[in-house]
């Protein structure tokens, strides 16, 4: 099964491809979630763990995950 990740979308965006609205929305939602999630860190160790989790999510999850309500809120 192949899917398009957030990092795939970012690569296309940086290469100046036209992206569908859903992919743009997912990219923005991920970036907002990333900022919120990292800002909730309680220590440097917690921040590093969260940062690694986000890298894994951006590489290994479909962008469609980030179109879900829990990522779109705020």
User: Using one digit for the tens of pLDDT, what is the confidence trace for 46-58?
Assistant: 999 999 999 999 9
* 54 touches 34 (CB < 8 A): yes
CB atoms within 10 A of CB 23: 22
Domain assignment of residue 1, yes or no: no
Domain assignment of residue 63, yes or no: yes
Domain assignment of residue 61, yes or no: yes
Domain assignment of residue 35, yes or no: yes
Q: How many distinct structural domains can be found in the chain?
A: 1
Domain assignment of residue 56, yes or no: yes
* 24 touches 66 (CB < 8 A): no
Residue corresponding to tokens 């192949």: 2
pLDDT at res. 2 = 85
**Structural domain range at position 64:** 6-72
Domain assignment of residue 50, yes or no: yes
Domain assignment of residue 23, yes or no: yes
pTM: 0.90
């Amino acid at each position: 099964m192949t899917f398009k990740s957030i990092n795939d979308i970012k690569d296309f965006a940086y290469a100046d491809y036209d992206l569908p609205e859903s992919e743009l929305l997912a990219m923005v939602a991920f970036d907002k979630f990333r900022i919120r999630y990292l800002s909730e860190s309680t220590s440097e160790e917690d921040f590093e763990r969260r940062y690694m989790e986000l890298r894994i999510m951006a590489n290994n999850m479909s962008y469609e995950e980030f179109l879900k309500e829990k990522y779109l809120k705020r």
